[in-house]
Structure 1
Amino acid sequence: MMERNNRICDIMVCAMARMIQDGDKVFHGVSSHMPMIAVLLAKELHAPHAVHLNIPGGVDPSPRKLKKYTSAGSELLDGARSYFPLMEVFDLSMRGGLDMAFLSGVQFDLRGNVNASVIGDYQKPKVRLPGGAGSAVLIPTAKRAVIWRTKHDKRTFVNQVDFITTKGNVDRIVTPLCIFKMENGELVLDTIHETSSLKEVQDNTGFPVKYSRIAITPSPTKNELSALKRIDPGDFRNIEF
């Protein structure tokens, strides 16, 4: 199981890294080990001029100087080229200058609505969640919002979310089974990971899975895997599993 999870994690991280283009200004939030390492991977391999923005405000922190990855700790200020605080990230996004934001949530539905607020009725919820925080601002305003989630089941992907924390502008959702994309206002299947199958995706999704073709998420290359070992020798990207 651990070996399979490690493989799935690498597929997800590499898939997210490939979405980053050279020169993109990219932000990730708290508890975001996988997208953080995806940004570092992209900068090392194909997008050296991408700009890495984060919660502490360290712009382009150097992985060689990071002793551990927290995705939101003071380590992300070490070796940074400059300081760009979170409030400025919000302003940048609302002005149309943030190219990509990696964010997450707890529930997602066919229309790309994101719930990070409550499970159940809002007045008497079964579970009260942390809330939208920056997601409510960044998902609608970033040029591309990429969601990732380490769970893919019918409680996560539902026909209608219990509460709409934020909606609109979701570009991709990366899961342990597949990648969804938004097309004509609905989530449709983009690619399936080699470790999964169409049936597994359908069986674990609470809405009909739409697709025009069946494509497999490209496997991590030897070059990508080698770079991941250099960037993340402590395998911190698997903490989220």
Structure 2
Amino acid sequence: MESKNRVCDTMVCAMARMIRDGDNVFHGVSSHMPMVAVLLAKAMHAPKAVHLNIPGGVDPVLRKLQKYTSAGPELLEGSKSYFPLMEVFDLSMRGGLDVAFLSGVQFDVWGNVNASVIGDYKKPKVRLPGGAGSAVLIPTAKRAIIWRTKHDQRTFVNQVDFITTRGNVDKIVTPLCIFKMENGEMVLDTIHETSSLEEVRENTGFPIKYSRIAYTPLPTKEELSALGRIDPGNYRNIEF
């Protein structure tokens, strides 16, 4: 459990550091980790970042995080204003959404995202929820940051079974590492201290490219202290 918590906190802190002061930042449903990352960034280095979400609460003051939702009515309580989801889509298509935290089920070396089916589209092994807002937000947000709590060869494949959305992925944060897009390909950015290059290679279905070996900075004492105040119930860890 301690190791899992450490990985989770490393991922959350890494996502928080990707948020810049003044960014308009959106996260969707089932998104405890990026939700906490947004709150952490606002508490640490990006107080002017704007927190947008599914219910439409802008910069909500969360007195208590909910265990089972990152899209509940509490995100409207104490918010500065109301900005509904349809306006988020419009904002993104107008170039005003700086960061969108989204996910998927399969990813390939070209940055394509599959959230639709596993196997043949007409006769799939598994039919997935589909792209929903990600099909709009990933191509149009200034930076689409993907997180996924699984990193194996079924998740990171040479070619996705179905392209739900393509292009514009900035970073992908996993329990093992962070990928970045460079010249149209996914390359290794940093490796978490809890992992290794060998483990990343063994669990990725395409050849790993990198220009240098770098490690993801560990959470600082200040970040861990802030996480304890923001999420004392450790609900960010329920995604694992």
Q: Which amino acid counterpart does residue 19 of structure 1 have in structure 2?
A: M
Match for residue 66 of structure 2 among 63, 68, 83: 68
Deviant stretches of 4+, over 4 Å: none
- Offset of 1:226 from its aligned partner? 0.1
Residue 9 in structure 1 maps to residue 8 in structure 2: yes
User: Which one-letter code corresponds to 1:145 in the other structure?
Assistant: A
- Percent identity, please: 83
The TM-score, its normalising length taken from structure 1, stands at 0.98
Conservation of the 8 A alpha-carbon contact between 1:66 and 1:78? no
For structure 1, list consecutive stretches of 5 or more residues without a partner in the other structure: none
SS state of the match for residue 214, structure 2?
Answer: coil
AA of the residue aligned to 1:118: V
1:203 aligns with 2:202: yes
1:79 and 1:228 mapped to 2: Cα distance? 20
| Counterpart-to-counterpart distance in 2, 1:163 and 1:68 | 33
Question: 1:137 and 1:186 mapped to 2: Cα distance?
Answer: 21
Q: How does 1:157-236 map to 2 (within 5 A)?
A: 157-236=156-235
8 Å Cα contact 1:66-1:76 kept in structure 2: no
Cα deviation, residue 67, structure 1: 4.8
Q: Tell me the distance in 2 between the aligned counterparts of 1:144 and 1:221.
A: 25
Deviation at 1:160, TM superposition (A): 0.1
User: Displacement of 1:66 after TM fit?
Assistant: 2.9
Counterparts of residues 1-241 of structure 1 (less than 5 Å): 2-63=1-62, 65-68=63-66, 70-241=69-240
Structure 2: 5+ residue stretches without partners: none
- The normalised TM-score by structure 2 is 0.99
The CA deviation at 1:219 is: 0.3
SS in 2 for 1:27: strand
User: Between Structure 1 and Structure 2, how many residues are aligned?
Assistant: 239
CA RMSD of aligned residues (A): 0.6
Offset of residue 164 of structure 1? 0.0
User: 2:65, 2:235 within 8 Å by CA — same for their partners in 1?
Assistant: no
Q: What CA deviation, in whole Å up to 9, does each residue of 1:138-162 have, x standing for no partner?
A: 0000000000000000000000000
Q: Is the CA contact (8 Å cut-off) linking 1:180 and 1:189 kept in structure 2?
A: yes
Q: Does the CA contact (< 8 Å) of 2:32 and 2:236 recur in 1?
A: yes
Q: Is the 8 A contact 2:65 2:231 kept in 1?
A: no
Query: 1:68: Cα distance to partner?
Result: 2.1
